[in-house]
Structure 1
Amino acid sequence: IELSDDYGHPALLLVDGVSSICALDFRMDEWGVDVALTGSQKALSLPTGIGIVCASPKALEASKSAKSVRVFFDWNDYLKFYKLGTYWPYTPSIQLLYGLRAALDLIFEEGLDNVIARHSRLGKATRLAVEAWGLKNCTQKEEWYSDTVTAVLVPPYIDSTEIVKRAWKRYNLSLGLGLNKVAGKVFRIGHLGNLNE
């Protein structure tokens, strides 16, 4: 999403990488991304609770004259405490930070290129399995396929919510529900994070 304002500030490129950063190829500097965000609960394989935001020097500069009201997540608070060596202006979730360190160690040990290749391989395998089941991928064009999640269309006489419930109760398998316009029409298979074949 590229945004600009009425005050003549330069546009910033913002990327929501919640389901892609650390699973798919992402090059913040090379692509000129100014703000990128992800969450701990996706490719990092942690519980929900950490929002990770990276900001370019251009974004940090733009924030100095931004008129939006902000309290909890003011970059200036974080930068000030970082320079003081305390790193965190509020009470952090220490256990999640230790988990983040361990998750990053696993990624570094495997190698980010290998992590990305694994996600590609597992995404393709999931799509092939869906095809073998006689079902269809909700995504209609191959270039839109995701290597982190696959939404599976169900026949019109089946409510996908029942599939999700049955998978959980019978197999202890967590699938995602279809959201908004595809509620009851698809279920989602997540294939991202620290997983294997």
Structure 2
Amino acid sequence: MINTQIKPFNATAFKNGEFLEISEKDVLGKWAVFFFYPADFTFVCPTELGDVADNYAELQSRGVEVFSVSTDTHFTHKAWHASSETIGKIQYFMVGDQAGNITNNFGVMREGQGLADRATFLIDPQGTIQAMEITAEGIGRDAQDLLRKVKAAQYVAAHPGEVCPAKWKEGEATLTPSLDLVGKI
């Protein structure tokens, strides 16, 4: 899926007390994160969504919009937002994908269950998938690592010919692949 374009979609999302109609057109022209999770009112999911909420301001400062997606309805997202202190912090889009169209577009629907895998996709302004992560049910994700990947993807996009090595942090040295580097790293 890396370097492929996101597919067209239409959905209703809950954001800042409102229901909003969204599509792939709302993603194009900016960096975006699609953050899939199995279900509202569960156990690991709220810890992950809360972690992203705690880092949302920094993601926004980098021009990144977040779209959390589950196969729950936008109505369920609203109810969860109203009833949970952790989820109540969320200011990003909570997308209802009850028909599973977006979840299937990204290939993360659990067959026969109607639930999304724990999956994260980083999309560039052209609508191209630049990074993805899928974890097992019991393994929660870390928004700080997501933020590190966002910074690396944005750096590489702004600096053609350079790449970010393992554990790269913003401001650290990058690499310029060349014949001279072969066997020297």
Q: TM-score, normalised by structure 2?
A: 0.23
Task: Report which of the two has the higher share of helix.
Answer: 1
- Bigger radius of gyration, 1 or 2? 1
| Larger RCO, structures 1/2 (Cα 8 Å, 6+ apart) | 2
Task: Report which of the two has the higher share of strand.
Answer: 2
